[in-house]
């Protein structure tokens, strides 16, 4: 069966691609390994020149890359352009800082000389999702290549065009032939690639279910993995919060990328004294978002990436309502072609409802009442996920204490929505995964942390 891409705004097929045979994949992985054997001995300065060319081409060809993303997964064009620029910024960051991040560290022992060196591992298999088709790949690839690794990419089927454009990007930047390749393969056929002796490690961004399957397969081969999985990020709105600031951040955090982000704001836990006011302000903010053609430039909200994803989201909304939640806004599937879903707010959300217990991957906000700060923190941590979290309060010291000490998540923000940044590490705890991307911690994931001891 071919890999098919569909425009989610219209439901029309864009293209179809033949799946690669096992023999072709074997040749690609072996060629990547051969290319890596030379690449690993290049200097940081040499690698940086290639990675800076990636950034340059990304900026030069931004409109084409952005349009492709908008067509394949429905991202509003302004957000797609911003994603391309973020990729370029990430490349620039690692081109500048990788050598410092991976500098050998002298350690005083009873040896004449002893130190820790960071050496590349080999070819990394990157299994990436559709929601940020370029950023998810480049945020892994830039540090991986600066560390001296090679890579093969298994991208989501519905963004195959983007995956091939990224491969072309590396070729245009002049990287050694075969060092980075895209594998056209369905998810069901990934396990043999994990098993391939030319694959040194695996990084996956995706659902928790996919992460568990990849971790099991990689673990059976004793191969390193980094997993960035699902999230159900809680945003705590305390009684002393600046509600206008909080609502603006919450609306952006929930509706950016049409709500299709692992670190999107998903559960809004509001203390009772400000609950009603917050709900009304949030509804007013949601009504300001304009849904429409992702390529128009006038849209804040695009469709979901696929109709089946939209239908699953609506099932979660309906199930939550059947269990007692109230629809404050939205909640009705539009009678139009494509994978559209309106900005939706559910109130009276409680434990036992999908809106409380599951990840809602789309423009649906779940508002949960809390008695006070301690109750809000309890609810926030009452989840299998632990990717991001935010707290809103005018008392910054109070917010910092809650973020730093009490919330169980990999990224905790105060008076701002959760986002990734090349300068700070990104990743989760619990069923949101393990390992880190970005910053120093991200580039150190896929290296051999080597002790060198000279008597």
Q: Give CA separation, 193 vs 23, 34, 217, 349, in Å.
A: 11, 16, 10, 42
> Could you give the 3-state DSSP secondary structure of residue 50?
helix
User: pLDDT digits over 174-205, tens only?
Assistant: 999 999 999 999 999 999 999 999 999 999 99
Q: Is the pLDDT of residue 446 over 90?
A: yes
Q: How far is CA 324 from the centre of its chain?
A: 32
Mean pLDDT of the chain: 98
What residue spans define the domains of the chain?
Answer: 3-229+430-454, 233-414
User: pLDDT digits over 289-320, tens only?
Assistant: 999 999 998 999 999 999 999 999 999 999 99
Instruction: Give me 22's structure tokens.
Output: 């096992």
Instruction: Give me 221's structure tokens.
Output: 């081969």
Q: Give CA separation, 330 vs 208, 283, 306, 363, in Å.
A: 28, 10, 19, 10
- Strands annotated E in 63-185: 105-106, 113-120, 123-127, 150-154, 180-182
Asked if 13 and 5 touch (Cβ cutoff 8 Å), the reply is yes
Q: CB neighbours (10 Å) of residue 374?
A: 10
> Could you give the 3-state DSSP secondary structure of residue 34?
helix
Q: What is the DSSP letter of 426?
A: B
> Hey, which residues are catalytic here?
228, 262
CATH number for the domain whose boundaries are 3-229+430-454: 3.40.605.10
What does the pLDDT average to over 249-276? 98
> Could you give the 3-state DSSP secondary structure of residue 251?
helix
User: pLDDT digits over 145-171, tens only?
Assistant: 999 999 999 999 999 999 999 999 999
Q: Per-residue confidence at 1, pLDDT binned at 50, 70, 90?
A: confident
Exposure class string for 110-134: b at 16+ Cβ within 10 A, else e: eeeebbeebebbbbbbbbbbbbbbb
Question: Does CATH place domain 233-414 in 3.90.1150.10?
Answer: no
- Reading phi first (left if > 0) and then psi (alpha if -120 to 50, else beta), residue 366 is in beta
> Could you give the 3-state DSSP secondary structure of residue 13?
strand
Asked if 396 and 415 touch (Cβ cutoff 8 Å), the reply is yes
| H or E, element range at 81 | helix 77-101
pLDDT > 70: percent of the chain = 100
């Amino acid at each position: 069966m071919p890999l098919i891409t569909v425009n989610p705004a219209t439901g029309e097929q864009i293209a179809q691609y033949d799946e690669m045979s096992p023999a072709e994949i074997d040749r690609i992985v072996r060629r990547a390994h051969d290319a890596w054997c030379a690449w690993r001995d290049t200097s940081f300065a040499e690698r940086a020149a290639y990675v800076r060319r990636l950034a340059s081409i990304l900026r030069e060809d931004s409109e084409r890359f952005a349009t492709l993303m908008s067509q394949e997964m429905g991202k509003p064009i302004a957000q797609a352009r911003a994603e391309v620029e973020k990729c370029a910024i990430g490349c620039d960051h690692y081109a500048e800082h990788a050598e410092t991040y991976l500098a050998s560290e002298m350690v005083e022992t009873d040896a004449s000389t002893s130190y820790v060196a960071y050496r590349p591992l080999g070819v990394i298999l990157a299994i990436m999702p559709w929601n940020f088709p370029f950023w998810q790949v480049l945020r892994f690839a830039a540090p991986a290549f600066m560390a001296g690794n090679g890579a093969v990419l298994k991208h989501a089927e519905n963004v195959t065009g983007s995956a091939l454009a990224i491969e072309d990007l590396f070729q245009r930047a002049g990287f050694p032939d075969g060092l980075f390749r895209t594998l056209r393969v369905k998810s069901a056929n990934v396990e043999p690639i994990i098993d391939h002796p030319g694959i040194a490690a695996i990084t996956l961004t995706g659902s928790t279910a996919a992460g568990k399957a990849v971790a099991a397969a990689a673990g059976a081969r004793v191969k390193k993995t980094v997993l960035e999985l699902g999230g159900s990020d809680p945003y705590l709105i305390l009684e002393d919060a600046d509600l206008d600031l909080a609502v603006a951040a919450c609306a952006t955090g929930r509706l950016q990328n049409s709500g299709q982000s692992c670190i999107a704001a998903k559960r809004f836990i509001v203390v009772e004294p400000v609950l009603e006011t917050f709900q009304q302000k949030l509804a007013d903010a949601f009504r300001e978002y304009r849904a429409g053609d992702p390529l128009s430039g006038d849209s804040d909200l695009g469709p979901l990436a696929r109709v089946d994803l939209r239908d699953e989201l609506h099932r979660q909304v309906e199930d939550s309502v059947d269990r007692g939640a109230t629809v404050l806004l939205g909640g009705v599937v539009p009678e139009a072609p494509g994978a559209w879903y309106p900005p939706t707010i559910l109130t009276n959300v409680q434990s036992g409802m999908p809106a409380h217990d599951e990840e809602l991957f789309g423009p649906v906000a779940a508002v949960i009442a809390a008695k006070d700060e301690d109750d809000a923190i309890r609810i926030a941590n009452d989840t299998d996920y632990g990717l991001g979290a935010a707290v809103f309060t005018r008392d910054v010291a109070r917010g910092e204490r809650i973020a730093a000490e009490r919330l169980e998540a990999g990224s905790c923000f105060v008076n701002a929505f959760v986002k990734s940044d090349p300068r700070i590490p990104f990743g989760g705890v619990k069923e949101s995964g393990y390992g880190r991307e970005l910053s120093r911690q991200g580039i150190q994931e896929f290296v051999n942390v080597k002790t060198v001891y000279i008597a």
